[in-house]
Every structure is written in structure tokens, then in C-alpha cells.
């Protein structure tokens, strides 16, 4: 038993919605290798409708997966920005986790971690040298006073 869906009926608002549905149906028919019928009506049997539904489910799953990926990358970029802001305050205590993806964001995270460690090391050495210079200055001041 064939089911028929009529496209192109309704008000101007409905027309836009129906045009969008028609485009989705045509795209799914094209993706599954079914020929696209004329624009005035689409007639299909249950097997074709099931195929289209499966295609729509696949597209929906792909969109969900891409949304999760975008959300993950957005969170990852926010972590990187947070570390950069901490670095501007000379706080190198935060280390970024390296994921198992091995993408460019991991490369940036690894680079920032390395940079933070190096800057922290340089700052520690500068503090030690500064403390040494302060001790030397005090000794010189005492020597000058005695002299």
C-alpha cells in the first residue's frame, strides 16, 4: 500500500516549512540512491519510507556526534584561554590535560604546558639570583658602613 505525501499546499508560512521538508526528503532519497519524484507529490511504499527514516536517523546521529565534538572543542578552547589568562598573571600552576585525540589542540596544550614549566623555571632562577644579589648588597652596605 503506497502512502502519498503532497508537497506545496498551505499558507506562505506553511510553504516554507513544506519546502524545507521536501528538500530534506529529496536529500535523503538522493543519499539512499532513490530517484526523486516530481515536486507536486511524492509517492512511496513503506520500504521507501523506512529507508528515508533510517537516513534521517543517520543524519540526526551525525549531527549529534558533530554537536558533541563542537562542544568538546569549545570547552577545550576555553581551558586553553583560561591557562593563557593565568599565564598573564604569572601563574603557571595549571597544566592542561593531553587527550588521546592527538589533534592541534593537544599540540597547543603540550606547548603551553612546556612553556609554563620553562617560564616557571626561569622565574625561580631569577628569584634565587635576586635573593643572592640582595644578600650581596646587604653585605656591601655593612662593609661600606664599617669602612
For 46-49, the CB contacts below 8 A with 24+ separation are 46/1, 46/3, 49/3
Instruction: Please report the pLDDT score of residue 138 as a whole number.
Output: 93
Tell me which DSSP letter residue 4 carries.
Answer: E
- Mean pLDDT, 10 residues at a time, over the chain (147 residues)? 42 60 72 58 68 82 90 93 92 89 89 93 94 93 88
Half-sphere exposure of 66 (CA within 13 A, CB side): 6
Residue 44: CB atoms within 10 Å: 18
Rounded to two decimals, the pTM is 0.56
C-alpha–C-alpha distance, residues 31 and 28, integer Å:
5
Amino acid at each position: 500500500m503506497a502512502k502519498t505525501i503532497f508537497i506545496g499546499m498551505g499558507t506562505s508560512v506553511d510553504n516554507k516549512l513544506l519546502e524545507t521538508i521536501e528538500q530534506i526528503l529529496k536529500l535523503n532519497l538522493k543519499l539512499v540512491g532513490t530517484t526523486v519524484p516530481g515536486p507536486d507529490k511524492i509517492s512511496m511504499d513503506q520500504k521507501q519510507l523506512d529507508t528515508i527514516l533510517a537516513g534521517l536517523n543517520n543524519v540526526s546521529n551525525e549531527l549529534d556526534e558533530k554537536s558533541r565534538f563542537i562542544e568538546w572543542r569549545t570547552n577545550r578552547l576555553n581551558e586553553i584561554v583560561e591557562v593563557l589568562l593565568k599565564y598573564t598573571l604569572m601563574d603557571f600552576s595549571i597544566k592542561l590535560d593531553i587527550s588521546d585525540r592527538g589533534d592541534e589542540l593537544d599540540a597547543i596544550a603540550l606547548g603551553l604546558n612546556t612553556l609554563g614549566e620553562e617560564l616557571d623555571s626561569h622565574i625561580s632562577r631569577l628569584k634565587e639570583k635576586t635573593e643572592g644579589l640582595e644578600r650581596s648588597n646587604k653585605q656591601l652596605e655593612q662593609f661600606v658602613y664599617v669602612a
